[in-house]
Amino acid sequence: MAFFPDERLDNIFWQALSGRQARFASGTANARRYAPGFSPIVGFPDPQQPDFAALAPFCAPGEQFYCDAWSGPAPAGWRIELEATMFRMVWAAAAPLEDPASDALALGPAHAAQAMELAGLTRPGPFGPRTIELGEYFGYLHDGQLVAMAGERSAAPGLREISGVCTRPGWQGRGLARRLMLKLIRRQLARGETPFLHVMCANSRAHQLYLDMGFRDERETVVRVVTPSLPGNALR
């Protein structure tokens, strides 16, 4: 499998949490997380040597967080709940000529409960009740029920992540999520941003769909779900 490394995407979550999206985050110069309610993702200046001690005061026992690019042993007071691998993919095709989802609804805080319910059904990745505030989100509703959505999560200079892509069971196979993604891609490219996304390596169907759309594999990386268990951590 060929990879096409893009140094702009190095340590992308730290870039987002300490840069363009710092207002959505909490932490220190050594560790940051999206604030409670947003996507439970953490970042460190050096992802190979994460400073979990610096992160701990900003976490509550039992919270689960996603981190990437780290494969060392669990530090004291933390548990590794899950380990897998994911592809980071970057857009490598021309801009879509037309908006294929001009009829889609722009989602906002009023749709947070519906977005959370759909994410709970389909598990598109780390998602919180305020995740749709991180960028543009679009969706399709049927009889008042959200049946498909896609939106934006992490951001860094010249880069924008497509995330939260999901379709309600019973509505797959109609191309709704693909149309929403192409809408976002078109809008990002028009703003001078390069779209990128993450997909679990085990999800071969979605991976192939993204390749067919015009994404290419930038790298493969470890992703872990970790939980703090230290008593007395004070969320702040």
- Predicted confidence at residue 61, as pLDDT, reads 86
Query: What does residue 216 show for φ and ψ, rounded to 5 degrees?
Result: -130, 155
pLDDT at 231 over 60: no
- Predicted confidence at residue 134, as pLDDT, reads 98
- Pull the structure tokens for residue 55: 């992160």
Which residue is listed with tokens 């909490």? 26
pLDDT at 21 over 90: yes
Q: Say which amino acid occupies 81.
A: E
Q: Are the CB atoms for 67 and 41 separated by under 8 Å? A: yes
Q: pLDDT band for 229, please (50, 70, 90 cuts).
A: confident
For 124-135, write each residue's pLDDT tens digit.
999 999 999 999
For 51-73, write each residue's pLDDT tens digit.
999 999 999 988 999 999 999 89
Residue 71's domain comprises 7-84+222-228
Q: How far apart are CA 66 and CA 126, in angstroms?
A: 7
99 and 56 in a common domain:
no
140 and 29 in a common domain:
no
Q: How far apart are CA 44 and CA 28, in angstroms?
A: 10
61 and 32 in a common domain:
yes
Q: pLDDT band for 235, please (50, 70, 90 cuts).
A: very low
Name the more confident of 234 and 75: 75
| Residue 233, in any domain of the structure | no
pLDDT at 7 over 90: yes
Q: What is the average pLDDT score of the chain?
A: 95
For 120-163, write each residue's pLDDT tens digit.
999 999 999 999 999 999 999 999 999 999 999 999 999 999 99
- Predicted confidence at residue 213, as pLDDT, reads 97
Would you say how long the chain is, in residues? Answer: 236
Q: Are the CB atoms for 131 and 141 separated by under 8 Å? A: no
pLDDT at 171 over 70: yes
Q: How far apart are CA 201 and CA 34, in angstroms?
A: 24
| Residue 36, in any domain of the structure | yes
| Three-state DSSP class for residue 8 | helix
103 and 213 in a common domain:
yes
Q: How far apart are CA 13 and CA 17, in angstroms?
A: 6
| Residue 94, in any domain of the structure | yes
| Residue 197, in any domain of the structure | yes
Distance of alpha carbon 119 from the chain centroid: 12
CATH number at residue 56: 3.40.630.30
- Predicted confidence at residue 236, as pLDDT, reads 36
Average pLDDT over residues 28-51: 97
- Predicted confidence at residue 230, as pLDDT, reads 59
| Residue 191, in any domain of the structure | yes
107 and 94 in a common domain:
yes
pTM recorded for the entire structure = 0.94
Average pLDDT over residues 201-210: 96
121 and 66 in a common domain:
no
| Residue 236, in any domain of the structure | no
| Residue 177, in any domain of the structure | yes
Domain count, the chain: 2
Distances (CA, A) of 173 to 49, 90, 139, 167, 178: 42, 24, 16, 9, 10
Q: How far apart are CA 94 and CA 186, in angstroms?
A: 9
Other C-beta atoms closer than 10 Å to the C-beta of 213 total 16
